[in-house]
Amino acid sequence: MTRVDTYFARPMEITRAVWFEAAHYLHKCDKGQGYTQLHGHSFKMEVTLRGIPGGTNGWVADLAAIGASLEALRSELDHSCLNEIDGLETPSLERLCAWIAARLAPEFSTLAMVRVLRPSLSEDCLLRL
């Protein structure tokens, strides 16, 4: 076994990301915090799959298939009011991570991580599965 093969046989993680713009408000917060007002953010959604490369292509998973699934989610979220989407009535970063994981887990059994970022605020939420 060559040195490359030694490392190639180990679990690896692959990540795909998309950006979207969305508005939301958090109606269960104190009014003085400002979160109760409708406001928008630029979001970055990252999804990571973990596995040992295999198959004829030597992939952990098909990045194009992951990208297609993320694009479907992005089109649902982009330029929306997140509060109006079923399951996101209280759209915190934590709820958004869980919502994305629930949508993708049936399709990708090796889903290892979902991360949602609001880069302009230096905020993110990471859900490890």
Assess whether pLDDT exceeds 80 at residue 78. yes
Mean pLDDT of 4-24: 93
**Domain map of the chain by residue range?**
3-128
The fraction of the chain above a pLDDT of 70, given in percent, is 92
Show the tokens assigned to 89. Answer: 């009535």
3-128 to CATH, choices 3.30.479.10, 3.40.50.20, 3.40.640.10, 3.90.1010.10: 3.30.479.10
The string of pLDDT tens digits covering residues 52-75 is 998 889 999 999 999 999 999 999
The string of pLDDT tens digits covering residues 107-124 is 999 999 999 999 999 999
